[in-house]
Structure 1
Amino acid sequence: MEKVMGGSNNDTAQYDTTKALDVVVRSRRGQYNNTILEHSSDKGTGGIENSEDYFAQRKEVLEREASLGFDYACQQKASEDELQANEILQTLRHNDDICVYKQEHARKGYGGQTHRRFCGDHFLSNVELIEETEIFKVAQKIPKGAHLHIHFNANLPPNVLLDIVKTQPRMFITSTHPLTAKNEFINYSECQIEFRIRSTADELPSNLFPADYKSGNTMRFNQFLEEFPNNYHRSSVDDWLESKLIFTWELFDKRTKMMKEYTKRCLQKFVRDNIQYAEIRVNFIQANQIWLDDGSGQINNEGIMYIIINEYEFRKTNAYFNGLKIIYCTPRSFPGDQVGAALDECASFKRNQKYSKYVAGVDLVDEEAAGKPLKHDERLSIPFLFHSGKTIDDTEGNLLDALLMNSRRIGQAFALQLHPYIMQQIKQKGICLKTCPISNEILGLTSRMSGHSIYLLLANNVYCTVSSDNPALFKSTLSHDFYQVLAGNSDITLHGWRQLIEWSLEHLCTSKDKSVGIYSQWENHWNEFLQWIIETYGGVKRMAE
């Protein structure tokens, strides 16, 4: 066998790929009757005769594989600006690795193993570095099309909620523990707090700080803010409240002005995050009902619909964000009669002339393993937009039920990668999957972004979109999710981002004319975005390793 590797003298002895392949071909000739692509050659044998044949067939295989890529259509139609912008994006990715990740000290991972910092690691491990990168700045600017999986009551972060609460004169706070200096750690770390609107007749004047405080009694929130610094010195009152609200902020008792303000700020956030359209998920349950401004009573689910729609219509003159719909959500863990009543109410909203055009569809939410499988609820004629497969293996069979019940879109679907036949059927039916990368990472479905199921789904050309799920809980935005998708796989490019966005616009729950109009406006924003990348980063050079 000929020598194909030499010593250290690169001028006279180097690895010769062509010679090596000729050696391998000669040594294996006669073992294979077909080419790599299993088609006959004009020589009649179909074998690889030499390195030239090998490289020709290798090139053909790569071209055929590329033509099956989920973003191939976007690559083929890419404008000169898009091609240039994508080259810039790859340069920025390379430079971020050198300037941001490689500058950091190695960290300990699972089992105490030490590894260098890298793009695409778990979101919580990298979040402080992500926001230093140029790619994240680009992700913030990208016009993201439609946001199709966002829980309305988990959209704004705790600090924004606190700002709203501080403006409410009839707001009170309660605790499960007295906030005394004695047993400070237990009291301040273990207590659960709630915010409650109270009328003058219903308030129970009290103080959370003395030892004789009784759980559930109310303290005026303004008074609490004044007294907190005199009783606790480990953090500011805002920082302490935010730490308590990350998982309990939904316990706010809302009022109409707060709901309007919350809706307004959600719409503003969509604009800041460069989102053109959203279908928000609202939980229509008794615990979510809204207090009147004076605390004397509550508004029902129809009142919630009215407030959200009215606030949107009042502000929809913003040309950048021009589409909103509501997905009616109710917990799947509810008893059957309550789920049935919720579905009936959703149907009544759909029949109501005032609300009909704003109802996108219905979903049953909750932890899947804790609730009933989807097959228990089969009665509504408006579109199903189910959560399914938000687990490792989908033991409840919700992915199959969502398929059989003709769910127009499926939220999460992380477990679909383990069900090839169901995946094939979902692909054939054109069902869109609303993937939530950061949510899946934080819930433990994958240890880092590179292991996320979205890449296998895209490799199989399943329609996917990118969504943020519960960003308030993760202190993230949709821009962070777009960043993670790019960071987790080096094959994702600007063309891949574009395809994910286009799919989001193709799977709206709206009329065809409306969808075409939204797409046309998005394309204008996309072209402006390309110009921004070129003007901002056109002179950036690729750094040496």
Structure 2
Amino acid sequence: MPVVRMAMAPSLHQAVTLLWFLTAAVGMPDPIKRDQLIAQEASRQTGGKVALTPVERKLDAKLRQMKEREMWADPFPPALHFFKAKPLIQRSSIFKLLQNMPKGAALHIHSSSLVSVEWLVKNVTYRPHCYVCFTWDNSVRFVFSQRQPFPRWDCFYWQLLHTLRAKNGDPASFDASLMQHLTLITEDPDGEYPNQDAVWEKFEKAFIATAGLVSHAPVLRDYIFQGLQELHQDNVMYLELRSGLSRAYELDGTIHDKMWTLRTFQEVTNKFVKDHPDFLGARLILSVHRAWSASEVKAAVKEAIELQKEFPDVVAGFDLVGREDSRRPLWYFRDALSLPDQLGVTLPYFFHAGETDEEGTEVDQNILDALLFNTSRIGHGYALARHPLAKELSRKRNVAVELCPISNQVLKLISDLRNHPAGVLMSEGHPMVISSDDPSMFGNTGLAYDFFQAFMGIGGLKANLGTLKELALNSIRYSSLPDHLKDAGQAMWQKKWDTFISAHL
């Protein structure tokens, strides 16, 4: 019984004796082995195997010091809702560095939210012949027309925006009210969006409101160019844009087909690349909504096959978009999605999957189904960490996760980004890229904000310069570009990276 008494109330002598006994019996852990274990684990994380040059190591040491100062900030931006954290992020020295960092490619952005809302309101809504209608469900609709549009079920009274703004007497206030209809931004996100249903309802209303502006043919050309410009200003050099190819319209009511939209996208992109030789280009991932019927999706897949044949350098592949939790799972569309294989043709898939926290549901299986249909990348993949087989398969097949941290937080999958499941994926070095999903809706133009949240919140203190370098290179590596353009893109990126490193030592 003396051992029990010692454990209950040990004296200093007894404690020392017990410590000696344990180390003698078990052996004192070897500090060298401990260091080896720590280094081995660190080598597995994203960027862990990146060999930094001497100058990169200098910047990495500087970055570590900056990060140690900011990690203990109170409040810590990644722990706050982005709408509250944004002003804090903008004051961060690490964020300023990330703005200057060459980020490679943006591989997950939706076309209706590509361009900042400020540009839409301050530029597009000031153009002649722009009409507005305020709907019964507290939303807005826009249309460009030579005459007052006819009433329709959701819009009984159209008003010329120029006249309405003049009557208001306070253009700045009026414009701010329009912006509220086109974004999710609010001072009280938790109060205004108490659950996912509430935030998705506003989210989808904002998409509908934007459509009338950006699908006007003259606006569409400027919109694409402006979107590329905003990415370029944030040191992004390539874009893969998910688009439903809404039919563009002219002032006289003429409606263009999807071929016209693809040609327009190609022309505007080529012009931008010509004006900006350090920009690699842009491609489209054709997408349809999950609310469509199986027959409609089958027709859309067939159409995507034909459009890719016609525009092989523009059309990257196909996806299904919309809220996963309330829509049909991928397996529901299995006949439609099997069509390319049945026809003996290739149509790459880039499926949204795992954008859910409803573990074990039918929707939760989208991760596995996406892999069954040989998806090239996984959009969001929020649920992947709890699917060990899917995680293993995606790693073996080099199927990257398109991580969009701000989107996940704003759409209420998670509140504190330090608890994001992608932290597990990053610690294992899972294939991954960073993107922004719907930047105009969230007020985070470019990729710098999402890089900040991933680097500081999800990656934590152990994420370093090697992490940033691998994430940026991944965006080119896992793009849909052919190999020769990937090689050219990586060489172009490396020059920008070397300049960036030298400028920040």
Q: Please classify the TM superposition score into its range, dividing by the shorter chain length.
A: 0.7 to 0.9
User: 1:421 and 2:379 equivalent?
Assistant: no
Amino acid at match of 2:219: M
Match for residue 70 of structure 1? 46
Structure 1 distance, partners of 2:49, 2:230, is 31
Change (3 A) 1:219 1:28: same
Q: What SS class does the counterpart of residue 252 from structure 1 fall into? A: helix
Match for residue 504 of structure 1? 475
Alignment of 1:139-538 (within 5 A): 139-176=98-135, 191-200=138-147, 203-204=149-150, 215-229=155-169, 236-246=173-183, 247=203, 248=206, 249-253=209-213, 254-284=215-245, 288-292=246-250, 294-317=251-274, 318-352=276-310, 355-375=311-331, 376=333, 377-380=337-340, 381-392=346-357, 393=359, 395=361, 396=363, 397-477=365-445, 478-488=447-457, 489-534=460-505
Amino acid at match of 2:371: L
Deviation at 1:120, TM superposition (A): 2.6
Contact 1:150 1:469 in 2 (8 A): yes
Change (3 A) 1:84 1:255: same
User: 1:27 and 2:3 equivalent?
Assistant: no
Deviation at 1:301, TM superposition (A): 1.7
Q: Which has the higher contact order (CA 8 A, sep 6+)?
A: 2
Deviation at 1:394, TM superposition (A): 6.2
Alignment of 1:92-171 (within 5 A): 92-96=66-70, 101=73, 116-122=74-80, 123-171=82-130
Structure 2 distance, partners of 1:128, 1:529, is 25
Match for residue 56 of structure 2? 82
Between Structure 1 and Structure 2, the one with more helix by share is 2
Q: What 5-or-longer segments of structure 1 have no aligned partner?
A: 2-14, 33-47, 102-115, 178-189, 206-213, 535-545
Amino acid at match of 2:453: Q
Structure 2 distance, partners of 1:407, 1:449, is 26
Amino acid at match of 1:86: D
Deviation at 1:364, TM superposition (A): 0.6
Structure 1 distance, partners of 2:177, 2:33, is 64
CA deviation digits over 1:440-499, x for unaligned, max 9? Answer: 111111111101122101222210110000011110131000011121111111111111
Which of 1 and 2 has greater Rg? 1
Q: What SS class does the counterpart of residue 479 from structure 2 fall into? A: coil
Structure 1 distance, partners of 2:16, 2:109, is 53
Structure 1 distance, partners of 2:277, 2:21, is 66
CA deviation digits over 1:179-229, x for unaligned, max 9? Answer: xxxxxxxxxxx63221112233x6359xxxxxxxx9522211111111112
Q: How many residues align?
A: 450
Structure 1 distance, partners of 2:16, 2:235, is 51
Contact 2:262 2:314 in 1 (8 A): no
Contact 2:378 2:399 in 1 (8 A): yes
Amino acid at match of 1:491: K
Deviation at 1:22, TM superposition (A): 9.7
Structure 1 distance, partners of 2:347, 2:98, is 34
Structure 2 distance, partners of 1:470, 1:336, is 26
CA deviation digits over 1:41-100, x for unaligned, max 9? Answer: xxxxxxx2x4xx5223222322322333332221xx2111111111111222234467xx
Amino acid at match of 1:63: A
Amino acid at match of 1:379: L
Amino acid at match of 2:493: W
- Identity score, percent: 24
Change (3 A) 1:204 1:421: closer
Contact 2:103 2:237 in 1 (8 A): yes
Change (3 A) 1:500 1:413: same
Structure 2 distance, partners of 1:60, 1:494, is 21
Contact 1:164 1:258 in 2 (8 A): no
Match for residue 4 of structure 1? none
Amino acid at match of 2:97: V
Deviation at 1:139, TM superposition (A): 0.9
Amino acid at match of 1:90: R
Q: What SS class does the counterpart of residue 339 from structure 1 fall into? A: helix
Q: What SS class does the counterpart of residue 123 from structure 2 fall into? A: helix
Deviation at 1:171, TM superposition (A): 1.4
Structure 2 distance, partners of 1:519, 1:250, is 35
Change (3 A) 1:124 1:217: closer
Q: What 5-or-longer segments of structure 2 have no aligned partner?
A: 4-11, 184-202, 341-345
Structure 1 distance, partners of 2:175, 2:469, is 39
Deviation at 1:167, TM superposition (A): 4.4
Deviation at 1:426, TM superposition (A): 1.1
